[in-house]
Every structure is written in C-alpha cells, then in structure tokens.
Amino acid sequence: MHSAMLKCTKNIEYMRTALSVVFLFLFVSKIYSQKISGCFLNMPNQEISLHVYNGANSEIEIKVSTNSAGEFNIYCEGKSIEVGYLKVENTKSFPILLNIEEIEIVGSSLYEPQSIYLKKGAQNQLFQKITEENNKRLIAIDALKYLTFYYHSLEEKIQSPAILNNFNEELNRLSHEQTFSMYNLPSDGFLHWYFTIKNLINESIAESNNPSDNCFSILQKYRSIDYLDDRLYKSGLLKEVVESQFYLIEHCGLGIDSSFKQMQISIEDILNNLAKDEKKYKDVLEFLFKSFEEHSLNNALEYLSDFSGFKFLFNR
C-alpha cells in the first residue's frame, strides 16, 4: 500500500509539473500575442494586409477582410518590437508598432491616412503623434526654403536683411531639431532609436536638395550606425538608410573623385560592420548591388564587386 501511495504521489507531482509547463507556455504566448482591431467606416468588405520587413523588402504577413461595417481584427505574434504597415492595394501604408500592446484603430479609410487615429495603444499613439509632428516640421522646412528663394528674387531695395536672417535661423533650427526630444524617450528604447534614424534620413535628404557644409558631419552619423542591429531590418528603415546615404554622397556637391572616394568609404564601412553575420552580409550586399544598378552607379558597382569578392553582371 505504501508503494501504491508513493506511486500516486509521484504521478500527482508529474501532473503538476506538466501543468506548470503548459501554463508557462500559454503565459509566454500571451505576452507576445497582439490584437489589432479597427474600423474603417468607408471600407466595408475590403481586403487589407499587414506588411512586415525582414531586411530591405516587405513581406505580407497577414491578410484580412473588413466586415460590412468596416471592422477588422488582426492577431500577430513576435518576440521583439518591429514596425508593421497596414496597406490596401497600392495606397500609402499606415505604420504601427507590433509586439508591444493591443491596438484599436479608427478612421474613414486607408485611402485617407489623415483620418486615421489610434483609440487604444499608448506607445502607438505616441508613435503616431511624433510621426505627424515630424511630417509637419518637414512641410515647414519646405515652406521656409520657398520663402527664402522667393525673397531673394525680390528687388534688393525691398529686401530686409533682418527678415532674411530670421528665415535662415528658423530653417537651421528646424533642420537640426529632433521632434521627439521633448518626450523624454528612453535613450535605449525603440522609439528613440527609430526617430533618431528617421531624423538622420530627413536631414540627409534636405542636405542633398540644398547642399551646405553639413555633408561630412551627416556622413559620420551614417557611419556610426550599427548594421548588425535587428531593429534596422524589422523597422523598414534599412532601404531608406542605405539609399539616402549614397544619394547624399551623389548630390551634396562633391567633385567626381571625392564623391567616389566617399562611396568607397561607405561601402567598406557597411560591409566590414556586417562581417560577423553572414546572412545580413549577403542580404545587404545583394541590396547594394541592386540599388547601385538601378541608379546607374557603375563605379560603385565595380568597387562593390571587387571589395566583396563577388562579381555582378550589369549593363554599362
């Protein structure tokens, strides 16, 4: 009888252990499971898709259809924060943070992104708010550039040096402003990282369109980026980072020889940074080949081929 009781006790302990493992699995799954619900009033019975990135190209993660009232639910799981993009057909995508919190989205339509707002999801609400403020800043920069250009075209006798100086000061302030600085974001958090990279891309584009003395300082910021960082591949920013960097080199007013030298430095910097990760190295290398070919950067293509040890056929 004592043997039977001992066996029964061991069975109970085994069941408890098994139940604990099952409970832990369900609990961990719950942590990384996310519900995205929404309603687009002007999009009844339409298919929408959630796109995610794993490198330079997006992949369709989930497709769902709205009901007759425009309502939908998406469920996704993941272990780290990344950026997903809601799309319908070929419209401009609406970005959201994944694997961090439940989200509720409301709006007229994905065709009208200005109508969309987040009812639920504090981090996503902050993400949307900073994104919108950053877009307004870019609009203001373009407006000031136009005003400066227009003011220079006026007759000298009706120009005011004080007004022109105010334009230049405000333009300089906005060009270097970090719109997220007022929110005290944790420096090691995803949002701080994401908007730091976005600001660099925007600063680079502005410098490319209106070259000044900032080209080399911006290039130094690019060369401080860690290309092994998974966030770069999961955010959709890898393509923008690479293309905007070489676009800057090409259009910031450097001579042909100096421009090619800077491209060599950037190529070496990116690939040396990736040497420890074969998969990322090959993915970025393939993207660089395609990008250089699309933009007819034949000298950069040849150097990339020689430096990487790969040969790539392209039309001259």
Q: Strand 33-40 relative to strand 103-107: parallel, antiparallel, unpaired?
A: parallel
Grade residue 94 by pLDDT with cuts at 50, 70 and 90: very high
Q: Convert the pLDDT of each residue in 127-150 to its tens digit.
A: 999 998 888 888 888 888 888 888
In order, the DSSP letters of 209-246 are HS--S-HHHHHHHHTT--TT-HHHHHSS-HHHHHHHHH
Q: Strand 33-40 relative to strand 71-77: parallel, antiparallel, unpaired?
A: antiparallel
Q: Convert the pLDDT of each residue in 184-239 to its tens digit.
A: 888 889 999 999 999 999 889 888 887 778 899 999 999 999 999 999 999 999 99
User: Domain locations in the chain?
Assistant: 31-120, 213-316
In order, the DSSP letters of 114-166 are GG-EEEE-HHHHHHHHHHHHHHHHHHHHHHHHHHHHHHHHS-GGG--HHHHHH
* pLDDT for residue 23 is more than 50: no
Q: Determine which of 16-20, 74-78, 110-114, 189-193 has the lowest per-residue pLDDT on average.
A: 16-20
Cβ neighbors of 92 (< 8 A, separation 6 or more) are 113
Fold for the domain defined by 31-120: Immunoglobulin-like (2.60.40)
Q: Convert the pLDDT of each residue in 157-193 to its tens digit.
A: 667 778 878 888 888 787 767 666 667 888 889 999 9
First to last CA, the chain: 89
> Order of strands, edge to edge, in the sheet holding 71-77?
71-77, 33-40, 103-107, 117-120
Q: What is the DSSP letter of 113?
A: G
* pLDDT for residue 25 is more than 60: no
User: Do 258 and 216 form a contact (C-beta atoms < 8 A)?
Assistant: no
